[in-house]
Chain A
Amino acid sequence: MSTASELTRASAADLAAAIAAREVSSAEVTRAHLERIGAVDGDVHAFLHVSEAAIATAEEVDRRLAAGERLGPLAGVPVAIKDVLCTIYMPSTAGSRILEGWVPPYDATPVARLRAAGLVPLGKTNMDEFAMGSSTEYSAYGATRNPWDLTRIPGGSGGGSAAALAAFEAPLALGSDTGGSIRQPAAVTGTVGVKPTYGGVSRYGAIALASSLDQVGPVSRSVLDAALLHDVIGGHDPRDSTSLRDAWPSFADAARRGAEEGTLRGLRVGVVRELTADGPTGDGFQAGVTQRFREALGILADAGAEIVEVDAPSFDYGIAAYYLILPAEASSNLAKFDSVRFGLRVTPPGGGTVEQVMAATREAGFGPEVKRRVILGTYALSAGYYDAYYGSAQKVRTLIQRDFAAAFETADVLVSPAAPTTAFPLGAKVDDPLAMYLNDLTTIPANLAGVPGIALPVGLAPEDGLPVGIQFMAPARADDRLYHVGAALERLLQERWGGPLHAQAPALG
């Protein structure tokens, strides 16, 4: 592992080991990734901001390691950060014009933990504005392109983080997942993404979309790498009241055990009918996605897992409930963008009252999808409509939680395709919000129930040669189960493929 190409294709675990063994310096690894960004990001546009301090940070880590300091297991490894997370020294825009150039005075807790563990922030990755979207096309700063096919979307809202990994611009990234924004991009870029249990990772410093659904999580090219990053960023944070106080097991250990054991004997895997081609929205599932999904189930069964079918009838109402709860919370969370204290300020010609300045700023600073959801949410919370909309949606949420609880009586993990289709062409759905929303069909229930989910690649769809992802979901607090089963399946698949899926990705640049 010495050429720039080897360094950018290596896993985070291998890079960390090589840096710790002083076989390669963090500065060399960081430089290789910055060069890669320079070479391909003009095409991919995964980054909104590349850190000027990355090399200096890496050199500092090298000095500390040389001095014999014990840093975390990922010390020296570069990491890309979704622009929804606040970062000192780097602008944090959440993909919105209204925050253009805003540099927060504090780090989000997951970012602070990365820095403390000696990881090297490379920059900020592109996203749909305020994480509203499934394609990154709603970014105010231009769409990100899918490294597997530059004419296609990389998923969203965290398309930047996923594309950065798929394009070997970063070995690790942070994402945030409100309805699938980590898992769906992972699915369509052949990468790995985890939405932790709600409360497992602090939300402090994550620019809020929908507070009761948002969760920060790791993005990577391997299950073990995601687990290592999750170990760094997770755990209780007194600054987030919804952060769980649990002592968490090592997720990296769970992943290693899963990969080593090679068997899934005794594991009950529940196929959620409503989230597959057999469900009521089955028409939306691409044939190649279903094919690869079923093959993966076969591999799990061959490894000893018991495949059972579970019904979760309330999941059919998941999207409807989600698109009431999310806009309602978002309409309130986004009220603070009013030009008074930070961000864009637009004064109407000839001046204006504070109300007129607020209105002009929000008109100019928010894109169409943000406006659509703010209007939807304001309506859903209005007196006289609250019970019918927000109230009913919360009831559906309770029913979905009950369906999960019942399903976990008969299955240890639940499984579905991570997204109903492979990456669609840029522009295909940007003017059809409903079609865009349906892309999150399989990922939304986990957010509504607060349970963890992982997406990992299971091959390429025969009809278009693009990555297909599978999703596992576990009960709240059982994130370790996802790493265990995910790493086991990953190993079995890679034995068939003769290496990681991303080895088959087309060359860029």
Chain B
Amino acid sequence: MPRDALMDFDAALEKYEPVLGFEVHVELSTATKMFSDAPNPATGDDAEAAGPNTAITPVDLGLPGSLPVVNETAVRYSISLGLALGCRIAESSRFARKNYFYPDLAKNYQISQYDEPIAFEGEVEVELEDGTVVRVPIERAHMEEDAGKLTHVGGATGRIHGAEYSLVDYNRAGVPLVEIVTKPIYGTAERAPEVGRAYVGAIREIVRGLGISQARMERGNLRCDANVSLRPRGAEKLGTRTETKNVNSLRSVERAVRYEIRRQAAILDGGGTITQETRHWHEDRGETSAGRPKSDADDYRYFPEPDLLPVEPSAELIEELRAALPEAPAVRRRRLKADWGFTDEEFRDVANSGLLVEVAETVAAGAAPAQARKWWTGEIARIANARTTDPAGLISPVHVSEIVAMVENGELTDRLARQVVEAVIDGEGSPAEVVTTRGLQVVSDDSALTAAIDAALAEQPDVLAKIRDGKVQAAGAIIGAVMKQMRGQADAARVRELILERAQS
């Protein structure tokens, strides 16, 4: 496949102004689906656990005669989200049918809000790395249902082309979604990629704060489509946009926006025109590729869903939900910074890594703020970076707090704890399970340590005499030997104590 020509980013920004737009889909963590009483797999810990086509009812399969019924909790969650986005809540909104044939769409239409969304006209404050605040205007937030999942079998690429057959799993069909659509975002210039990342991070923080979604991007609880267009600096007219689908980590949002700016700039600079199309993001190659052409005239034959009544929340309900909103992220940040006693730099380090929620939840689970920060921005971020993913979601805050506690009470050394973190991330179980199955406990049995010290002293009999002569650092050689024999599972400080006791006896 020929590589896209790319313009240097700074050069691109000198000539062109990027205009951004984002569509973020949030899977709500309700007990049941949007329109049926099937369990909602986006709520469980492991959506795949029960096997394909287990979380389904006649409604999710679109069986003849079945009818949708709106999930009240999903409506409440959507209103809360709309309020948190600073939106107005519609007194009356309604569902429509978006008609298109696709085998993952059981009814061959999607029930979605179209011309009357539940929430509209909001604004989100987004804080960049250096503390700059950007206001992102929100066009609307509307409710809809998710589609099922297709697996293409027999082809080389896992794509439909070349596949022998396809399997369809309707577990995800009917999972409640809120789609948040921004208005065009102007004036971000060279910070466009960063704004994209920070915006999606802010949405993630908001929905996590509301407790209405698991919001794990790697699981698809939060999915981002990034729209990018360029226009010559100073021009009034908007350029043609592309929509890069399913950019599913904060890091990828930043990279995808940057890539599209460079790609489009190269085309425009060469006198070419941008094709209005959807594009796919390839995390591995760090590139986008053309999807299907998209025009504003895509005909989904929308019409009001006759099986459902309009959604008409009472003013009392809206006020009740408004009163129950958690503090706004900006306020929350100020409070957390004070509570945790972090320096500006420490706090920004956490925030910019998208780890505020993780650190907060780790602290809430009992860890000291400094320890929570150390682990998330240190070892966990390092592993995430090595795996080119986001640290958030790699491991649960409760597990991190358990590991911190084990280090504090001497059950684990720092070194062992790092092994436990990686094993938990790899799915080997909870920290306690990993410690047991891998046999990683610190050896705190003095007799075992004494035996190891004796063995080491037999190899280096002069060490005790050096210590008695005041050369205490000579103990280091023995400590090293003991640690080696114990495969690191000894508390070095205790070993040192035991050696010094021996020298004095």
What residues of chain A have their CB less than 8 Å away from a CB belonging to chain B?
A: 85-86, 92, 94, 99, 102, 104-106, 108, 203-208, 210-212, 238-242, 328-329, 331-332, 335-338, 340-342, 354-355, 358, 378, 381-383, 386, 390
Contacts and interface: CB of A to CB of B under 8 A. Distances in A.
Given A355-B101, A358-B101, A211 B306 contact: yes
| Majority-rule SS of B interface residues | loop
A332 to B, nearest CB: 5
Given A204-B66, A204-B67, A381-B99, 12 more contacts: A105-B58, A105-B63, A206-B65, A208-B65, A210-B306, A240-B69, A241-B67, A241-B68, A242-B307, A331-B301, A335-B108, A335-B109
Contacts of B62: 336, 341
B168 interface: yes
Contacts of A102: 64
A378 B308 CA distance: 21
Interface residues of B, number: 30
Contacts of A329: 303, 306
Given A211-B307, A338-B103, A239 B67 contact: yes
B330 interface: no
A328 B303 CA distance: 9
Q: Which 10 A-B pairs have the closest CB atoms?
A: A335-B108, A381-B301, A211-B306, A212-B306, A205-B65, A86-B65, A207-B64, A336-B62, A383-B299, A336-B107
B63 A381 contact: no
B396 interface: no
Contacts of B306: 210-212, 242, 329
15 contacts: A86-B63, A102-B64, A104-B58, A104-B65, A106-B65, A204-B67, A211-B306, A238-B69, A241-B70, A242-B308, A336-B64, A336-B106, A338-B101, A341-B62, A386-B303
Contacts of B166: 354
B301 A342 contact: no
Contacts of A203: 67
Nearest to B68: A241
Contact of A241 (B69, B99, B108, B303): B69
B168 A340 contact: yes
B64 A340 contact: no
B58 A106 contact: yes
Contacts of A386: 301-303
B295 to A, nearest CB: 11
B448 interface: no
Interface string B308-334: 110000000000000000000000000
Contacts of B101: 335, 338, 355, 358
B99 A335 contact: yes
A38 to B, nearest CB: 29
B6 interface: no
A205 B67 CA distance: 8
A241 B65 contact: no
A331 B97 CA distance: 12
B284 to A, nearest CB: 28
Contacts of A241: 67-70, 307-309
B267 interface: no
Nearest to B298: A383
A241 B106 CA distance: 20
B75 to A, nearest CB: 13
Interface in B453-481: none
Given A104-B65, A341-B63, A342-B63, A332 B70 contact: no
A341 B106 contact: yes
Contacts of B235: none
B33 to A, nearest CB: 14
Contacts of B301: 331-332, 378, 381-383, 386
B297 interface: yes
B153 interface: no
Contacts of A240: 67, 69
Given A105-B63, A241-B68, A332 B97 contact: yes
Contacts of A205: 65-66
Contacts of A211: 306-307
Contacts of A381: 99, 301-303
A204 to B, nearest CB: 5
Nearest to A359: B101
A94 B106 CA distance: 19
A212 to B, nearest CB: 4
Contacts of A94: 64
A99 B63 CA distance: 11
B61 interface: yes
A104 B63 contact: yes
B489 to A, nearest CB: 56
A86 B64 contact: yes
B108 A338 contact: yes
A204 B108 contact: no
A175 B299 CA distance: 35
A381 B302 CA distance: 7
B308 to A, nearest CB: 5
A239 B69 CA distance: 6
B109 A242 contact: no
Contacts of B97: 332
